Chains A and B, each alone.
Chain A
């Protein structure tokens, strides 16, 4: 199977064709998928999959039922599939997929923090789990008019709990090892306007050695041209302090007014492994 991309050519001077489509040559997919409404259980919340517009598939190789999306006039069109756990003993993988195409496209090259997640790119206000209740997705990220999601067939339970030991202006969470608080952990605010960007410090070991405490704050928007981002791996940055990596000449205190950085930055790499100037900073206690 191949990724098929379509676009409308602009009708200029009445000479253009109406629609042009192209096949993306980059991805080669092996294997095939077979629908299996009997053996693959797509029940969600006690409701049978067929009443939810879902159908089970069994796939071999790297094939997925949703790996042939199209973009028509910039609108993604494709099935949305949710894996049903790990691969079977014979190497096949089960999926529960929408029976109809949705305004979403499976994105095989998406970068998801959790490598077991699958990327989808959607248009419109419906998240993938609205359209396929068997899937569960992370925070969406705008890309132009489209929203990127990372999704999994495994119900997502965010494991962080509230932590009350933070000073003014910060919000605390206790999370298991290797789990970071995310903006969605803020739950709801008292406002319609509550999109937060969390900046979290190097975690502090909780009394339970399997857990870590974070005292994060919702940062102001990075000003235009700002290049500083969170980096929990800055060498020598002690737990409770904020590691920041800047790709440009700006400094963390310029991008985040609540931040103070007593020491100059040093050359290093960001958490994404790109060259950057790294800083170890503190939250300004008010």
Chain B
């Protein structure tokens, strides 16, 4: 562990000549640094293959056997003057119900690049072979919808078409290849990139209309993303609306609605672009990883065995319509804004049987690591860049969130280890009051490794009329958390049977305006042992300091 060295170094810093002052009894205790264990074994025993034996998950997906067409790459780099849009789309259109595989040029293995603008993956499988990269064109005119696509500084979130739109029955994108949105590269005819265009609106929290890398049309059933690598989306990476083919409300087997399994999402994928501009996660703004429910209802889904590092939410469950029966398991997150629900939670969906379904419900998140130390994030990173678990909404977009369980989760060096907030943007007025119901946290451990700020927990309901809860905290251990680092209001909190506090023995009891606490803690609990695997990260250029 580096803990001792780092702590010693910090304590040795002379602060205005006062380093020799004797300690004050009221001083907070020194930070205890505990980085978690190192990598798991390089060779994972077969029995530990991700998802195997988990009865809440379907079997791991597999690659298709029915290949309709195979297209070979004819270029080594993404040549904007030689797009592959037409030939790929023609194959996808001709091969409904079957698969189109993109492969390297067998005669010249250096030719492994495809480049396209908008593609429709309708009831077909797009298979990208290992070593192949499908690049998104950098030409905004090819995505133009309102005229503002690619225009810097314009608040028009609908300005551009999406790169890939999935729709129909069982559309899939699979393979060990890569889809690269080129978000950090200069746009054709401009001297700025998609991300620079978005970053220009950061000061006002504005929303640029950059293309989504993979979007889903309403009415899609049985969507699959399997093992694909996603890099550098201009905006959101994956927006999912998909349900089982047998109906929008039933869920016979988890994953019948959609499956995202074994994908690797890394954005930015390099520390500099082709022009030498530095790219950091905080610079890659609005690049959510996977957003179920972003366009319409998402039901009966599985998001499992993925690694995600990006510049915005790792996962944001969007309740603007209705999201239910979602299993998020065995994932590893690096940089990003959190395992999130919201901010839209106001959704309402009346199913054909006349039942009204609301917001986000029945979500199970387990076996997750979130590691802020997976890579540097950039000089302009803010506290919001280090969120662990969060449920966010406000009265302009709030609604029902209930039956959400989080268990067996490790986090490292978050600013907000758990953030339940009903004031995502306090400026916004409205009458969609957040109604956060049962949220359960079990076997959660947050460790401090390199962080210099102490982790904070926020457990807020909206008001005395709409309190949150029950919020159950059972064996939730947040190293170095002080009593003042827990903020709560308008919440019904249940503690136990495991401890809630900075270690296994020190008991914290949240308090605040409109907070009620039910004490069920018994004995001493054992904090979850944390293993943080080494996650994919860009190679640091020579001469850079880690």
Contact = CB atoms under 8 A, between A and B. Distances in A.
A118 B324 CA distance: 41
A229 interface: no
Given A188-B343, A192-B312, A192-B313, A218 B397 contact: no
B285 A193 contact: yes
Contacts of B155: 196-197, 218-221
A139 interface: yes
Contacts of B182: none
A160 interface: no
Given A189-B157, A191-B286, A220-B153, A184 B428 contact: yes
A43 B456 CA distance: 34
A98 to B, nearest CB: 9
Interface in A121-158: 124-127, 129-131, 133, 136-142, 147, 155-157
Interface in A172-228: 184, 187-197, 217-221
B429 A192 contact: no
A209 B433 CA distance: 33
A137 B429 contact: yes
Contact of A130 (B236, B343, B346, B463): B463
Nearest to B384: A192
Interface string B196-228: 000001111111000000000000000000000
B529 to A, nearest CB: 33
B513 A100 contact: yes
Contacts of B286: 191-193
Nearest to B312: A192
A47 interface: yes
A257 B423 CA distance: 32
A139 B426 contact: no
Contact of A193 (B145, B201, B346, B463): B201
B154 A47 contact: no
A258 interface: yes
A219 B148 CA distance: 12
Contacts of B513: 53, 100, 131
Interface in B393-452: 395-397, 421-431
A74 interface: no
A72 interface: no
A217 B397 CA distance: 20
B383 interface: no
A196 to B, nearest CB: 6
A218 B396 CA distance: 17
Contacts of A137: 429
B4 interface: no
Contacts of A218: 155-156
Interface string B302-346: 000000000011001010100000000000000001000001101
A193 B287 CA distance: 11
A53 B395 contact: no
B514 interface: yes
B459 interface: no
A130 B423 contact: yes
B463 A140 contact: no
Given A133-B465, A194-B207, A286 B426 contact: no
Given A190-B294, A219-B155, A195 B463 contact: no
Contact of B464 (A125, A133, A139, A221): A133
A44 interface: yes
A258 B426 contact: no
16 contacts: A44-B465, A52-B464, A126-B460, A129-B463, A142-B427, A147-B427, A188-B344, A190-B207, A190-B294, A192-B337, A193-B286, A195-B427, A196-B206, A196-B207, A221-B153, A221-B201
Given A53-B513, A169-B147, A197-B155, 14 more contacts: A130-B489, A133-B465, A138-B429, A155-B431, A168-B147, A188-B346, A190-B295, A190-B318, A191-B235, A191-B236, A193-B202, A195-B427, A196-B155, A221-B201
